[in-house]
Amino acid sequence: MNKFVYLFKEGRADMKALLGGKGANLAEMTNIGLPVPPGMTITTEACTEYYRLGRKLPEGLMDEIKRNLSVVEQQAEKKFGDLKNPLLVSVRSGAMFSMPGMMDTILNLGLNEDTVQSVAKNTGNLRFAYDAYRRFIQMFSDVVLEIPKYEFEDILHRQKDVQGVKYDQELTPESLRKIIDSYKELVQAKTSNVFPENPLDQLAMAIEAVFRSWNNDRAIVYRNLNKIDHDLGTAVNIQSMVFGNMGNDSGTGVAFTRNPSTGENLLYGEFLTNAQGEDVVAGIRTPRPIAQLNDEMPVLYTEFSRIARLLESHYKNMQDIEFTIERGRLYILQTRNGKRTAQASVRVAFEMAQEGLITKQQALLLVEPSQLDQLLHRQIDSNATLNVAAKGLPASPGAASGEVVFDADEAERMDKAGKKVLLVRTETTPDDIHGIVAAQGILTSRGGMTSHAAVVARGMGKPCVCGCEAIRIDYAKQEFNIGTIVIKKGELVSIDGSTGRVILGEVPMKDPEISKEYTSLLGWADEFKRLGIRANADTPEDAKKAREFGAIGIGLVRTEHMFMQQDRLPYVQQMILAETLEDRQKALAHLLPMQEGDFYGILQAMEGFPVTIRLLDPPLHEFLPSLEELLVETTELRITEKNPKLLEEKLMLLKKVRALHEFNPMLGHRGCRLGITFPEIYEMQMQAIFNAAARLTKEGYKVLPEVEIPLTIDVNEMKFFREKIEVIAATTMKAANVTFHYSIGTMIEMPRAALLAEELAEFCDFFSFGTNDLTQTTLGFSRDDAEGKFLPHYLERKILKENPFVAIDQKGVGKLMRIAVEGGRKVRPGLEIGICGEHGGEPSSVRFCHEIGLNFVSCSPYRVPLARLAAAQAAISDSENIGTR
């Protein structure tokens, strides 16, 4: 026969599948010598057997329990159902995976009319005994007999009214006695049976109820949501009860082994004497700081401190411990890894390694990479009371307060006038860039985590809340509303880009603090990671920031951002509108020195490190006014007849905009297709790169420019561009009489490029995965439409597990990436391969890039620290050896 019952001392932490998470943990604590109230665990196998038998307890199970119970009785020095010193137990479910609140718990089992009197006598406290009894009847009736809770609550409330008191604690023993009698009458009326008096019957019924609760509706829904197998079954833990409310030498409390907000290595928590856990939660009595336990019960405090240390070194993590003191004896009820702030997380990991409790590798694994992001931004002061009005997506971390504006030009004007503004738009476009620069933060009602606003804000390290559907913007009235609240232009609003909260009014903030622990921990990350971490940066300032955060190069300079600047745009438009090559070259001649200046600044800021400069990528119409705008303007000019010359110019523009109109610009005339049709544009950019490189080399700087071609699909494109690049590089070096190293490569962002990587590699020194476009084109999802429209439904219905624009779709997009890596390296074993899509700063994607052997990931400067840690974690988990102290 199977062994269905394990005493706590027979189990281990790695027996979660059989004993459930809670059972395995209780066993582990028992075995390291902690004072855990004795008990036993009925295995998950007993539960599956119960279902296999058609909902019947397996034969012999109760006998096995009785045998083990006698051991527990000896350990507890109490006896089940005993009239002198009765043992009371708790009966709790505990599956392999934690399912908080999904199944049921019964406390104080073993009480009946006789034992309740013994408990009263032994404790000298009839009130306590009756209160425990009425709680037991209530829980048992709810869980086992399935009588709704509220019927018991009604009785309780009625009795409080009769006695004229507000809180349960104020009920007298007489009132509690009446409540018990009424409870029992209710049970009799509902079940036509008396409430079970025999403790062993109570136990068998309770165990069966826990098994049944595995298949209650909420547990099934929870398992479906969390993809937990329905066949696992739950274990049942039977544990002797201990009471913290047996007098002033008893108490209960919760403590963290270190401070969970700051990470300081000091016990942190609270306790209450003569109380049960519920009293702490109920908030009627204020618990006291754990340090005061030292004044009251110094021996127990020392003992608890010792145990806290022991648990920390055993679990190699900061612990959150629940304890109870029953008549001067300390019991540990539970321990788990403690939740902590980002700041605490870093400090705890660093100090635990310094103290020799864990290795550097283990320390690195203790910190959640996404937490690092928060530390680089201003945060809302956690003591502030907030008037939260809505919630959107936490698109870019940090907090900001400002006067609401609805238009980028206005944002810029107000910023110049010294005001702090918050830019509020349905969504943003490249046209709004100056407004984003001017604003403290951005709030949009539409768009997802990779919408324009989100990507740009993250790149700049500005707070952003996106897709906040609760806000309705009325541009005409210059206001927005959240339900009935109306917020007008100029009113103060705050956003928290780390949580997505939109808050009315201004809020107090805390500046980011880069601690020495943070810097040291990231230094350790660099020792272990294999991936290089670069940044996506378009300006010398961003490049400097990226270096400060530890980037070792730029993985993507998007040159189009430079074309958008106000001093260039007229020449860019002139270039687009040119009808002849000659006219176009005139415009390009203006742009050349400007671009050269841009590249000079960036290459200088990144001295000694590689800088990948991508040639122009977006469709040209993005640099022109919109069709709608021009239609309105030309109509007005026609009606007023005031300015025929301007009308003529605008009509020309309109004609060009119409000519450039595309049904699907993302798949249209963009990327290197522009370089094929207008080679002079790309040639100007190539020339600008090499002029800058030559000047810097002359001035004694070491530069490493990498010229990158976007959106290629065929080797012949690469061949065409490579020849041009090589000619321009050679002539520039010769003319300037210098030499410098440069390389040529392509983005891999179209499935055809990935599939034909083997051919492309012949003309490439490097590849960089543009996973934004590669995701769009592999899934056939237009990013902006998908996130706003159908993608949320896909995620809700679990058709897709994750937003593929946030975390790499490893199955599909990832497969193409693997093909490209393999193909490319087959032809060129030393081919440098990286990623520069938004995924380059997302931890699970970084891990994937490590696994498929990329050389680098590139992300926005503010995500560089996070990527360094994620890359180290990938390398550490990979190597199995997480070191010895």
Which are the catalytic amino acids?
Answer: 452, 836
Nearer to ligand PEP, 46 or 557 (CB): 557
- Work out what residue 717 binds among ligand PEP, Mg ion, none; the CB cut-off runs from 5 to 8 Å by kind: none
Stretch that binds Mg ion, among 42-50, 181-189, 500-508, 741-749 (CB under 5 A): 741-749
238 is written with which tokens? 């039977």
If one asks whether residue 142 binds ligand PEP (CB under 6 A), the answer comes out as no
Nearer to ligand PEP, 732 or 771 (CB): 771
Nearer to ligand PEP, 496 or 749 (CB): 749
Q: Which residues contact 43 (CB under 8 A, 6 or more apart)?
A: 2, 3, 4, 5, 6, 18, 19, 235
Shortest distance (Å) from residue 452 CB to ligand PEP: 10
- Work out what residue 558 binds among Mg ion, ligand PEP, none; the CB cut-off runs from 5 to 8 Å by kind: ligand PEP
Shortest distance (Å) from residue 617 CB to ligand PEP: 6
Alpha carbon 155 to chain centroid, angstroms: 45
Nearer to Mg ion, 351 or 773 (CB): 773
Exposure of 773 in the CB half-sphere (CA atoms within 13 A): 25
- Work out what residue 837 binds among Mg ion, ligand PEP, none; the CB cut-off runs from 5 to 8 Å by kind: ligand PEP
Stretch that binds ligand PEP, among 172-180, 349-357, 728-736, 768-776 (CB under 6 A): 768-776
If one asks whether residue 773 binds Mg ion (CB under 5 A), the answer comes out as yes
Say what angle helices 44-52 and 199-213 make with each other, to 10 degrees: 80
What is the number of other CB atoms lying within 10 angstroms of the CB of residue 579? Answer: 9
Contacts to ligand PEP from residues 682-711, by CB under 6 A? none
Shortest distance (Å) from residue 880 CB to ligand PEP: 33
72 is written with which tokens? 């527990």
Residue of 31, 772, 782, 844 interacting with ligand PEP (CB under 6 A):
772
How far is it, in rounded angstroms, from Cα 385 to Cα 696?
A: 53
CA distances from 742 to 621, 733, 786, 840 (A): 31, 11, 38, 23
Nearer to ligand PEP, 122 or 772 (CB): 772
Stretch that binds Mg ion, among 176-184, 474-482, 771-779, 799-807 (CB under 5 A): 771-779
Strand partners, 393: 466
Residue of 558, 568, 650, 863 interacting with ligand PEP (CB under 6 A):
558
- Work out what residue 415 binds among ligand PEP, Mg ion, none; the CB cut-off runs from 5 to 8 Å by kind: none
219 is written with which tokens? 């547990």
Smallest CA-to-CA distance from 2 within 40, 44, 37 is with 44
How far is it, in rounded angstroms, from Cα 210 to Cα 18?
A: 16
- Work out what residue 428 binds among Mg ion, ligand PEP, none; the CB cut-off runs from 5 to 8 Å by kind: none
Shortest distance (Å) from residue 813 CB to ligand PEP: 10
Q: Which residue is nearest to Mg ion (CB)?
A: 773
Shortest distance (Å) from residue 771 CB to Mg ion: 9
- Work out what residue 340 binds among Mg ion, ligand PEP, none; the CB cut-off runs from 5 to 8 Å by kind: none
Stretch that binds ligand PEP, among 47-55, 190-198, 339-347, 771-779 (CB under 6 A): 771-779
> Vertex 281, ends 275 and 287: CA angle to 5°?
60
Length of the chain: 885
The phi, psi pair for 804, rounded to 5°, reads -70, -10
If one asks whether residue 770 binds ligand PEP (CB under 6 A), the answer comes out as yes
CA distances from 183 to 148, 156, 171, 269, 364 (A): 12, 9, 16, 37, 54
Burial class for 407, CB neighbours closer than 10 Å (0-12, 13-18, 19+): middle
What is the number of other CB atoms lying within 10 angstroms of the CB of residue 317? Answer: 23
Buried-state track 238-273, b at ≥16 Cβ within 10 A, e below 16: bbbbbbbbbbeebbbbbbbbbbbeebebebbbbbbb
Shortest distance (Å) from residue 391 CB to ligand PEP: 27
How far is it, in rounded angstroms, from Cα 810 to Cα 842?
A: 13
Helix (H) or strand (E) holding 89: strand 89-95
Nearer to ligand PEP, 596 or 617 (CB): 617
Nearer to Mg ion, 46 or 672 (CB): 672
If one asks whether residue 771 binds ligand PEP (CB under 6 A), the answer comes out as yes
Stretch that binds ligand PEP, among 97-105, 220-228, 258-266, 766-774 (CB under 6 A): 766-774
Alpha carbon 684 to chain centroid, angstroms: 43
12 is written with which tokens? 């281990």
Q: In what order do the strands lie in the sheet with 319-326?
A: 288-289, 268-273, 251-256, 319-326, 329-337
Nearer to ligand PEP, 7 or 666 (CB): 666
Contacts to Mg ion from residues 748-767, by CB under 5 A? 749
Stretch that binds ligand PEP, among 2-10, 296-304, 325-333, 765-773 (CB under 6 A): 765-773
Residue of 260, 392, 402, 837 interacting with ligand PEP (CB under 6 A):
837
376 is written with which tokens? 């680089």
- Work out what residue 771 binds among Mg ion, ligand PEP, none; the CB cut-off runs from 5 to 8 Å by kind: ligand PEP
Shortest distance (Å) from residue 770 CB to Mg ion: 4
- Work out what residue 836 binds among Mg ion, ligand PEP, none; the CB cut-off runs from 5 to 8 Å by kind: ligand PEP
If one asks whether residue 749 binds ligand PEP (CB under 6 A), the answer comes out as yes
How far is it, in rounded angstroms, from Cα 161 to Cα 403?
A: 52
Binding marks (x or -) toward ligand PEP, 146..185, rule CB under 6 A?
----------------------------------------
Nearer to Mg ion, 496 or 773 (CB): 773
Nearer to ligand PEP, 80 or 781 (CB): 781
Nearer to Mg ion, 403 or 749 (CB): 749
Stretch that binds Mg ion, among 274-282, 484-492, 575-583, 746-754 (CB under 5 A): 746-754
Smallest CA-to-CA distance from 743 within 673, 681, 680, 833 is with 833
If one asks whether residue 836 binds ligand PEP (CB under 6 A), the answer comes out as yes
Shortest distance (Å) from residue 626 CB to Mg ion: 22
Residue of 326, 773, 832, 842 interacting with ligand PEP (CB under 6 A):
773
> Vertex 262, ends 259 and 263: CA angle to 5°?
55
Nearer to Mg ion, 20 or 770 (CB): 770
Contacts to ligand PEP from residues 331-360, by CB under 6 A? none
Contacts to ligand PEP from residues 593-652, by CB under 6 A? 617
Stretch that binds ligand PEP, among 125-133, 341-349, 484-492, 767-775 (CB under 6 A): 767-775
Q: Which residues contact 777 (CB under 8 A, 6 or more apart)?
A: 667, 749, 750, 751
Site size toward ligand PEP (CB under 6 A) is: 10
Smallest CA-to-CA distance from 405 within 487, 504, 481 is with 487
Residue of 705, 770, 834, 840 interacting with Mg ion (CB under 5 A):
770
Shortest distance (Å) from residue 334 CB to Mg ion: 50
How far is it, in rounded angstroms, from Cα 656 to Cα 645?
A: 17
3-state DSSP of 393-417: EEEECCEEEEEEECCHHHHHHHHHC
If one asks whether residue 555 binds Mg ion (CB under 5 A), the answer comes out as no
3-state DSSP of 325-348: EECCEEEEEEEEECCCCHHHHHHH
Site size toward Mg ion (CB under 5 A) is: 3
Q: Which residues bind Mg ion (CB under 5 A)?
A: 749, 770, 773
Q: Which residues bind ligand PEP (CB under 6 A)?
A: 556, 558, 617, 749, 770-773, 836-837
